[in-house]
Structure 1
Amino acid sequence: MADKPKPAVFSAREARQGWRGSPVLVVLIVSLILVAAVWLAAEIWGSVNEPDIPNPPSASAPADNNNPGASSGAGFSDNPPEGSRPATEGTDRQPVP
């Protein structure tokens, strides 16, 4: 039988996959700073190139009468018309069979 080669013996430092230290942390911090810089540049560019949108008309001065049936501009009346009965139950309930 042939002699089997002896397995290689490594120290803990040689067997480690990566070096201990701060290079990974430095890469993460630098990448976050770069992302923040790119985001800030995109925000500034977007605000500079924003199209001008005219302001909508104000709601304080209506252009026409929204309730043409109202008499003399008195507004909306919450009272039921004469001769009608008010509803006894809300419309969100199911009728009883």
Structure 2
Amino acid sequence: MGVFDKLFGGHRSGGGSHHGGGGHHGYGQASQNVGGNSGIVCEKCRTINVPAARFCQQCGNLLAPTKCPQCGAVPQPNAKFCEQCGKRIA
């Protein structure tokens, strides 16, 4: 196994390893189901987070709402209020 394989893809999810772990732990799965499909999807890692989350539970990325909860308008990045109806979104 080459150096790059060890760094970027040499991880095995088999039954055992030299670390004694064994098995798959579910880290980095983008299909985490949080209360159905109602949640905020992280733009960076695609993890579904709880609707009230401000930061991604997987990667820590700042989560911005994809639409205003009141009127459905798409907010500008880092906007705290909706441009259409004035509802606080952040």
Q: For CA contacts below 8 A with separation 6 or more, give which structure has more relative contact order.
A: 2
Question: Which structure is larger by alpha-carbon Rg, 1 or 2?
Answer: 1
Give the number of the structure whose residues are more often strand, by fraction: 2
Give the number of the structure whose residues are more often helix, by fraction: 1
TM-score (norm 2): 0.20
TM-score (norm 1): 0.19
